Amino acid sequence: MRLSIVHTGLIIGVMLTTAACGAAQSVAGVRDVSAEDPRIAGLWRAAARFDRAQHGFTPLTISGEVKWESVPRHGYDAMLHTYSPNPGGERTIAFRRTANGYRWIGEQQTFNGPSEYDSVDGRVREQITIAYEIEPVSGAPLRQLSIHYWGKDPRLGDDPAAALTLAQVRPILAEWGVR
């Protein structure tokens, strides 16, 4: 059976795409883990050293859904992603490898509010995101809070690029049930 150049090109393209996807998945190094998985115990210890309350984050709870990025990326060597029921929301914690394990270098927590609004992605819930980094990870300013709101609450504005203060968002978060 003879294949045309077009068919041969399509087959090769599919093979390369399949190989690339497989390589991307293995390079990604992201896996679902139990919060009690001993492989991430050192990450939890490093994360516990950060003063969350001072920076507007909720206490670190080691429960819920956890994803672990074990392959170094631009700006960090490991990362934990936690997902908990509202109002805890989503948390991302970045780490740098040290001679003795890991060191916390940044954190971001997103809180979901009760209201919804129409966006280019359809109907979504309002959110407040707080980030703090001591090394560049996400582009947030270093060693200062980065707080942004997505939604239509006139008290917080509707410009997600506008930086907010902890004093502005704490009353809103309290209304949302964040302690």
Query: Would 143 be classed as within a structural domain?
Result: yes
14: its two tokens: 């599919």
Amino acid in the structure at residue 122: G
46 to 74, 137, 153: CA distances (angstroms):
20, 17, 36
- 136: how many CB neighbours lie within 10 A of its CB? 15
Is residue 125 within 8 A of residue 116, CB to CB? The reply is yes
Residue 50 belongs to domain spanning: 30-175
Per-residue model confidence (pLDDT) at position 87: 65
Mean pLDDT by 10 residues, the chain (179 residues): 36 34 50 93 96 90 86 93 80 96 96 93 94 94 95 89 93 92
Query: Would 80 be classed as within a structural domain?
Result: yes
Per-residue model confidence (pLDDT) at position 25: 38
Query: Would 3 be classed as within a structural domain?
Result: no
Quote the number of domains for the chain: 1
How far separated are the first and last CA of the chain, in Å rounded?
69
Query: Could you give phi then psi for residue 126, rounded to 5 degrees?
Result: -65, 155
Per-residue model confidence (pLDDT) at position 29: 84
Query: Would 24 be classed as within a structural domain?
Result: no
pTM of the model: 0.81
Per-residue model confidence (pLDDT) at position 21: 38
